[in-house]
Amino acid sequence: MNTTLTRPRTMRRQRLTVYAGLAGYVTATGAADLINPDWSPIEAMVSHYAHADAGWLIPLALLSLATASTALLHRIISGNEPRPTPQPAETALLRTADGPRWTAGGPRWTAGGKAATTLLVVWIAALILGALFPTDPYGQWDRPPSTSGMVHGLAALLAFTSLPAAAVLFTRVWRRDPRRRPAARRLTVTAVLTVIAYLVLVLTFMDVQGSRALTFGPWESLVGLTERLTLWSYVAWLAVAAHATSHDPRR
């Protein structure tokens, strides 16, 4: 088999799978909002739409996001970015004191790389759990959660926490890779956005569980909006990461 041709084709398929999965998530959640105009996307979280009309769109959206993330994970683990064996001078240049040591197949595993990969696996598993176990209906913040709602809540906690941590760690590792320099700024910006959005989401979620002091106009809470902004920032980082792990990130 001609691996010279097969590997770039595999890379393109993986990248397209990431983009298709991300597009599927955005399309499904957007459709859920359009189909349910009586629901407020400012107040109701995405997962609550599982109890609205066309509720099947929500597990579909989560599974699409999990598919995109799995394709990205495979790109990262397989390291299928062919590269010529570095010359001695190039090797010396790449082997910095504080960075990973590069080989023909890509960076050897560092502590940060291993931790980031583990966090990405947690993110994927949490998305699948969230799709299989729907949350409780909207407006039941003050009631004990059902078993399904409890599992979904735990999955959401793991998902929302693991992805920004993975984004920061992966970005830190990739910024040291000369092959990633064309995408370094975009990786950094989107990784920072995931962290900021996550912190704002935590603030608004804690508010809706307590005093509900963070209101705006007719809306009693902003948790639906902040959750959407957080997920969009995650989608943005995943898209940039898929581009950055291409054979030539400048394309």
Q: How far is CA 105 from the centre of its chain?
A: 25
Euclidean distance between CA atoms 50 and 251, whole angstroms:
38
What does pLDDT average to over the chain?
A: 83
Confidence of residue 93 (pLDDT cuts 50, 70, 90): very low
Pairing of β 102-103 and β 106-107: antiparallel
Task: Please tell me the least confidently modeled range out of 11-15, 111-115, 118-122, 167-171.
Answer: 11-15
Euclidean distance between CA atoms 68 and 236, whole angstroms:
12
Q: Are 229 and 197 in contact (CB under 8 A)?
A: yes
Strands (E), the chain: 102-103, 106-107
pLDDT greater than 80 at residue 210 = no
- The amino acid at residue 154 is L
Residues in the chain: 251
pLDDT greater than 70 at residue 189 = yes
pLDDT greater than 80 at residue 181 = no
pLDDT of residue 246: 73
pLDDT greater than 90 at residue 251 = no
